[in-house]
Amino acid sequence: MPELRKDPILGRWVIIAKERAARPTDFRSGTVHPSGGFCPFCAGNEDKTPPEIMAYRKDGSAANGPGWRVRIVPNKFPALRVEGGLDKSGMGMYDTMNGVGAHEVIIECPDHHLSPVALTDENVEEVIWVYRERLTDLKKDSRLAYGLVFKNVGAIAGASLEHTHSQLIATPVVPNLVQREMRGARDYFAFRGRCLFCDMVQQELMTESRITHETEEFLSFCPFAGRFPFETWILPRKHASHFEALSRAQAKDLAVHLKNMLRKLETALEDPPYNFIIHTTPWNEPEIEEYHWHIEIIPRLTKVAGFEWGTGFYINPIPPETAAEFMRQVDS
C-alpha cells in the first residue's frame, strides 16, 4: 500500500509509492524509461492491461476484448490504491495516512494514434464524456475528496507510453494547490462580489491580444501571468464550478475546441511535450459561485530550475501576447 506523508512546513502531501521502483540504483542516470515496440493500449492487446473498469464499445462486444472505442483500465503501477481505510496516524512530529485513492488510465482510441488531433470529433467527445462519467462515479466514494484528470504527452512531460491516453487520480484529501486556488478565488469573490474566472473571460474578450481560439461555449487564451511559453487555458464562457456538470452539447463543443487548440500547439511548436490538466471544484463543495472549472495546457519547453524550486516564481521568456499572436496565425 502506498503511504501518504505530509510536509510539516507547507502541508504538501507526498505519495511514497514503494511498489513503483525496485532498487535505488534504478534511478542512476540514463536507466529510466526504456522504450519498446509493443503497445499494451492497442486493440487486440486487452489482456496486457488490468481488466477494464468500463468502455464504450460496439453492442455485443465482450469486455476485455476488441470492439471498444474508449477504454478505462486501472493503472498497472498505481500511485494510490482503492482498497482499505485511511488509517491516519502520527510518526513522531510527522503525519501519515494510507495511500487510498483511484488511479485510472483512459485509453482514448483503439488504434496507435499519438495525439487527440488525429482522432475524429466524435471520438474526442466520447473521451471528454468518459472523464465526466468516471468523476461522477468516483465522487460517490466518501473516502475520496478530489478527482484530477490530466494528460502527459512526451517523455519530458512524464509520459511512459505514446499511445494517446489520459489519467484520472482521485485523492483522499483536497490537494494543497487546489486549496490555495479555492482560497484565492474566494478572496477575490469576497472583495469584488464576482467570480474571478468570469472576470478573466470578460477581461480577455475586451483585451483580445491574448486570445488564441473561440467557440460558442469555450474561450482559449494565453494567461496574463503564464508560467511557461505558450501556456494556454481553456475556460467555459458560462459560469460552472464543477467539470462533471458538463452538458453533452458542451462536451461536443469542447471536443472541437480542444482538437483545434492542440493542433495549433503541435503545429506551432512541432509536437512539443505538454501536460493538460483539468482544474475543478473539490467534491465536498456544492455548485458554487466562486470557482470556475477550466483546463490548463502547459507545453514543457523550458526547464524548471533552482530559482523556480526556491521561490515559486517562474521565468517565461515569451510574453503571452506574442505567443497568442503566433498561435492565432497558425491554421487549425
Q: Report the site for a copy of itself in 214-273 (rule: CB under 8 A).
A: 223-227, 229-230, 268-273
Least CB distance from residue 54 to a copy of itself, whole Å? 21
Report the residue from 1, 8, 87, 112 that binds a copy of itself according to the rule CB under 8 A. 8
Number of residues that bind a copy of itself (CB under 8 A): 98
Task: Give the CA-trace dihedral at 27, 31, 32, 34, to 10 degrees.
Answer: -160
Grid cell of 109 as nine digits: 482510441
Q: DSSP string spanning 42-108?
A: STT-GGGSSPPSEEEE-TTPPTTSS-EEEEEEE-SS-SSBSSS----EEETTEEEEE-B-EEEEEE-
Least CB distance from residue 114 to a copy of itself, whole Å? 14
**Nearest CA among 322, 101, 315 for reference residue 230:** 322
Least CB distance from residue 196 to a copy of itself, whole Å? 6
Give Cα 73 distance to the centre of its chain. 17
Q: Choose one: 2-10, 48-56, 117-125, 213-221; the region binding a copy of itself (CB under 8 A).
A: 2-10
Grouping H, G, I as helix, E, B as strand and the rest as coil, residue 15 is: strand
User: Restricting to residues 159-218, which ones interact with a copy of itself according to CB under 8 A?
Assistant: 159, 167, 169, 171, 175-178, 180-181, 184-185, 188, 196, 199-200, 203, 206-207
Report the residue from 98, 152, 212, 332 that binds a copy of itself according to the rule CB under 8 A. 152
> 304 Cβ partners below 8 Å, 6+ apart?
none
Q: Does 10 help bind a copy of itself (rule: CB under 8 A)?
A: yes
Least CB distance from residue 169 to a copy of itself, whole Å? 6
Which residues are tagged catalytic?
Answer: 165
Between 20 and 49, how does the x/- string for binding to a copy of itself read (CB under 8 A)? xx--x--xxx--x-----------------
Least CB distance from residue 68 to a copy of itself, whole Å? 24
- State the helix-helix crossing angle for 320-329 and 248-269, rounded to 10 degrees: 100
Cross-strand bridge partners of residue 213: 220
Of the pair 63, 285, the CB lying nearest a copy of itself is at 285
For residues 37-65, one letter each, b for 16 or more C-beta atoms within 10 angstroms of the residue's C-beta and e for the rest, the string is eeebbbbeebeebeebbbbebeeeeeeee
Of the pair 74, 175, the CB lying nearest a copy of itself is at 175
Of the pair 60, 312, the CB lying nearest a copy of itself is at 312
Least CB distance from residue 63 to a copy of itself, whole Å? 27
Of the pair 46, 296, the CB lying nearest a copy of itself is at 296
User: Restricting to residues 269-328, which ones interact with a copy of itself according to CB under 8 A?
Assistant: 269-273, 275-279, 296, 298-299, 301-307, 309-320, 322-323, 326
For residues 269-290, one letter each, b for 16 or more C-beta atoms within 10 angstroms of the residue's C-beta and e for the rest, the string is beebbbbbebbbbbbeeeebeb
Contact 61, 67 (CB under 8 A): yes
The CA-atom distances, in angstroms, between 259 and each of 215, 226, 263 are 12, 21, 6
Between 70 and 89, how does the x/- string for binding to a copy of itself read (CB under 8 A)? ---------x----------
Of the pair 136, 302, the CB lying nearest a copy of itself is at 302
